[in-house]
Amino acid sequence: MSAPRIDAHHHLWDPATRAYPWMAGEGIAPIRRRYDLDALRDNAARLGVEHTVLVQTVSDEDETREFLRTAQASDGLIAGVVGWG
């Protein structure tokens, strides 16, 4: 039996709904788009990742609460949240 594959560091973001100061500049332009739970699920399935830990993208308690709700809705994919607050 093999051990589950766990990725200890993922981020989710949506520049249309929240400001991300670290996304400024042309060098980051390729990832300046929505990356949500569906995208995370797709990538995790493609890579054989069974669980992940979601890590804050901004220092914001609202984002942390949102991430906790997202984890709850992830059917076990998101096993933990590193948030702010």
Q: For the segment 14-69, what is each residue's pLDDT rounded down to a tens digit? A: 999 999 999 999 999 999 999 999 999 999 999 999 999 999 999 999 999 999 99
Predicted local confidence at residue 37, as pLDDT: 97
Residue ranges covered by each domain of the chain: 6-82
Query: What CA–CA distance (Å, rounded) separates 11 from 1?
Result: 29
For residue 34, report the phi and psi dihedrals to the nearest 5 degrees: -65, 135
Per-residue pLDDT at 3 exceeds 90: no
Residue type, 51: H
Q: Give this prediction's pTM.
A: 0.88
Query: What CA–CA distance (Å, rounded) separates 14 from 45?
Result: 21
Residue in the structure block whose two tokens are 């096993």:
79
**Contact present, 20 and 13 (Cβ < 8 Å):** yes
Instruction: Count other C-beta atoms under 10 Å from residue 40's C-beta.
Output: 21
Which tokens is 27 given? 């060098």
Predicted local confidence at residue 39, as pLDDT: 97
